[in-house]
Structure 1
Amino acid sequence: MFLIPEVACEFDANAIEKSTANLVMGAIKRYGKGKVAFFTEAAMFTAQIVQEKYKVGFNSPVAPQNIQFLMNTIHWLNNGRLVDRVKNKE
């Protein structure tokens, strides 16, 4: 489900609920020597609290799989290789 507010980012009782059933929300593809991933909405890859009450992305209680989905996507793009973290050089 997603909400369509009358005014952008102002979610209230008048916001229309729409089902995401049968919608393509993302795609992955091998392209040339690499891979690409496209998604129609980036909020699931963020951690937000909207209007101090709506938890979105990593914070969403109805989508606890968001973090794992992002990790799976990154690992697929990176062919499963682990990458060393860049150390803070102060």
Structure 2
Amino acid sequence: MLKKTKAIIFDLDGTLIDSMWMWQDIDTQYLGKFGLFVPEDLQKAIEGMSFTETAAYFKERFKLPKTIEEIKREWNEMAYDKYIHDAPLKKGALP
């Protein structure tokens, strides 16, 4: 069935699994490691930014002692753990 298929594109977040909440949780946990709190305007400020742009924004706004690549790596590690253990499948998605 898929022998001639060159690529498959699918939308994971919000379509197959309920994971949109995770990123706010990751923001809270990540900033908490530095003794910081998530400001009320953060979600609006980063809306529409790429992953790299968001990491750069965090580094600058919160004066984080990490490189942009380190921030992204740590976020990815945190997200991986949450995807494996905490993100429930949406209704109709098969495991």
Larger strand share, 1 or 2? 1
Return the TM-score normalized by structure 2: 0.28
Larger helix share, 1 or 2? 2
Q: Which has the larger radius of gyration?
A: 1
Kindly indicate whether structure 1 or structure 2 has the higher relative contact order, using CA contacts under 8 Å at least 6 residues apart.
2
